[in-house]
Amino acid sequence: MRFDTLLMPSQVSASDKEFLIYRGDLECNIAPGNKQHKLKYHLQKALSESCQYVATFGGPHSNHIAAFVARCQVLEVMPLIVVRGETWAELTPTLRAAVAAGAILFPSSRQDYRLGLASEIKQTVDGYYSNVYWVPEGGAGSLGVLGCLDWARVISQDQQAEGAHFCVASGTGVTAAGFAASDIDSLSVFSALKGVSNLTEDIQLSCQQAGLQVTAKLSTFDECLHGGFGRMSKELLVFLKTLYRLNPGIELDPVYTSKMVYQVYQMEKKGLWPHKRTLFVHTGGLQGWLGMKKDQQPYGDPVRFSC
């Protein structure tokens, strides 16, 4: 396990705050960050049911797809992937890597894709293959929550996390639910999705469905967007470049962790961040930089983040 000190731009002169970052991006080579933990019990169940095929949903640049395919390779099961979007003139780096690893792709209209496990494309896939285990998009569901609960407990029991206020970015809310039900005292959750107005209630519901309760003192922040999900604002790009100069070797992903850290920075700069000791959880996803434009790259050539 690795914890690094994170120096914020607002701390260059003086600050009584301490910021740490748990390096989930360094946990393993094939599926770093929270994705492997969300997949943990799903894939265990697939194996226990002797499923030869495991299917899931994801976007063309999905971190979930990258981790899902990597774990399926290790477990020697066939990955089937429903990809959001009807056609592609060229496969993204994430999808090319998935195909190279043996995955079979199924394009889906955005409208049908939103139906998830109730979609027509799922019925089509089930017609082609028998005994398919389906993992919800992003490794969601109670099994995903339980995997993240395990992860949160391991991190929180490390001496370096003692007394820290935890910060986690949220998409489906599965990771946040696992941390909210763990042994940590207080937690802030930052949503990267548009239109999320009931994040606290969503986390509580996810915990209840997994047979858990929210035990951490919980604060939630909605719509850390910077132009939309997966998009990069000029302000965020400048911040990331500055942060990297202050913290060489600490690279954040473009979708989740970067926007969370930036929002805390803005609050701390205005004197609105009350916590003396903060621990950011890096949830991985660095391969997401492969989907960003050249002028939106804070760390140079993103090829090293290839799946």
Which of 101, 119, 139 is a domain's end point?
139
Residues 262, 300, single domain; the answer is: yes
Residue carrying structure tokens 């929002």: 263
pLDDT class of 101 with cuts at 50, 70, 90: very high
Residue 13 scores a pLDDT above 80: no
| Per-residue pLDDT at 37 | 95
| Per-residue pLDDT at 196 | 62
Residues 8, 155, single domain; the answer is: yes
Mean pLDDT across 215-228: 78
Task: Give the list of residues 6+ apart from residue 301 with CB closer than 8 angstroms, or none.
Answer: none
Residues 103, 182, single domain; the answer is: no
Residues 233, 106, single domain; the answer is: no
CA trace torsion 59, 188, 181, 39 (10° rounding): 20
Asked whether the beta carbons of 132 and 104 are under 8 A apart, the reply is no
Residues 181, 145, single domain; the answer is: yes
Which of these, 2, 68, 8, 26, lies nearest to 283 by C-alpha position?
Answer: 26
Strand-strand pairing, 78-84 and 104-108: parallel
Task: Give the list of residues 6+ apart from residue 60 with CB closer than 8 angstroms, or none.
Answer: 83, 84, 85, 88, 91, 92, 94, 95, 291
For helices 142-156 and 199-209, angle between their N-to-C axes, nearest 10 degrees: 100
- Residue spans of beta strands (DSSP E) within 44-162: 53-58, 78-84, 104-108, 132-134
Mean pLDDT across 284-303: 87
Residue 35 phi, psi (nearest 5):
-60, -40
Burial class (CB in 10 A: 0-12, 13-18, 19+), 231: middle
Total count of domains within the chain? 2
pLDDT tens profile 121-169:
999 999 999 999 999 999 999 999 999 999 999 999 999 999 999 999 9
Which of 139, 170, 201 is a domain's end point?
139
Give the range among 64-68, 192-196, 197-201, 234-238 with minimum mean pLDDT: 192-196
| Per-residue pLDDT at 205 | 95
Asked whether the beta carbons of 209 and 217 are under 8 A apart, the reply is no
Residues 219, 235, single domain; the answer is: yes
Q: Which domain holds residue 47?
A: 35-139
Residues 168, 75, single domain; the answer is: no
| Per-residue pLDDT at 269 | 87
Task: For residue 126, give the CATH number of its domain.
Answer: 3.40.50.1100
Task: Give the list of residues 6+ apart from residue 307 with CB closer than 8 angstroms, or none.
Answer: 66, 69, 70, 93, 94, 97, 98, 287
Residues 122, 242, single domain; the answer is: no
Which DSSP helix (H) or strand (E) runs through 5?
strand 3-5
Residues 262, 124, single domain; the answer is: no
Residues 76, 211, single domain; the answer is: no
Instruction: Give residue 33's region: left, alpha or beta (phi > 0; psi -120 to 50).
Output: left
Residues 113, 149, single domain; the answer is: no
Buried b (16+ CB within 10 A) or exposed e, 155-177: bbeeeebeebbbbbbbbbbbbbb
Mean pLDDT across 79-106: 89
Per the prediction, the chain carries an average pLDDT of 91
Which of 109, 139, 169 is a domain's end point?
139
Residues 182, 288, single domain; the answer is: yes
| Per-residue pLDDT at 224 | 61
pLDDT class of 273 with cuts at 50, 70, 90: very high
